[in-house]
Amino acid sequence: MTIIRKDEAGFGLTEVMIAMLVLFIVMVAMISAVIAALQVTSSNATGSTAAEAVQQRIEDVRAASVAGDCDVLEGAALPVTTVTDGRGVDITISGSLASTCVRAATSGDRDPVQVLRLTVEADSAAPGASNPVVTTTTDILVKFQP
């Protein structure tokens, strides 16, 4: 017959329950940290998509400015468009010109060289988003290129 001493008997029920409780507390803390990280990541994804859309609008306006035509420039700068990020959140892109594009004096004249200040904003429809998500202001040179 083998005799087992009390100090070699293994873990008791109380010790197992305390170990499970400590493990549960650690897991809950880790889960809340993972949830917070996922929220920040999704918010950053929306901001990144908005910044890309704003930059694309600026590039479109710069390309339109080569025509030297105020109507073409305003047509590229002013419309309100909506893009959707990877999470399905709608982002509204809007542009505004700080001054009015000066048109030529007569129909035969070409528009004069001028610099216009363009501001492009992106607003998000996501709950809790701080709008505007992205705002960029740049100067656009409008010059007729034959």
Residues 101, 77 contacting (CB under 8 angstroms): no
The C-alpha atoms of residue 87 and residue 131 are separated, in whole angstroms, by: 18
Count structural domains, the chain: 1
Considering the domain boundaries, does residue 45 fall inside one?
A: yes
Reading the block at residue 90, the tokens are: 């709608």
pLDDT (0 to 100) of residue 146: 47
Tens of pLDDT, residue by residue over 99-145, are: 877 765 555 666 567 788 999 999 988 777 788 889 999 988 877 65
For the beta sheet containing 114-124, the strands, ordered from the edge strand earlier in sequence to the opposite edge, are 81-84, 90-97, 114-124, 134-142
Does residue 31 have a pLDDT over 70? yes
pLDDT tens digits for range 47-89: 889 999 999 999 999 888 887 677 888 888 899 999 988 888 8
Q: According to the model, what pLDDT value does residue 11 have?
A: 74
Q: Residue 43's CB: how many other CB atoms inside 10 A?
A: 18
Range of the domain at 19: 12-142
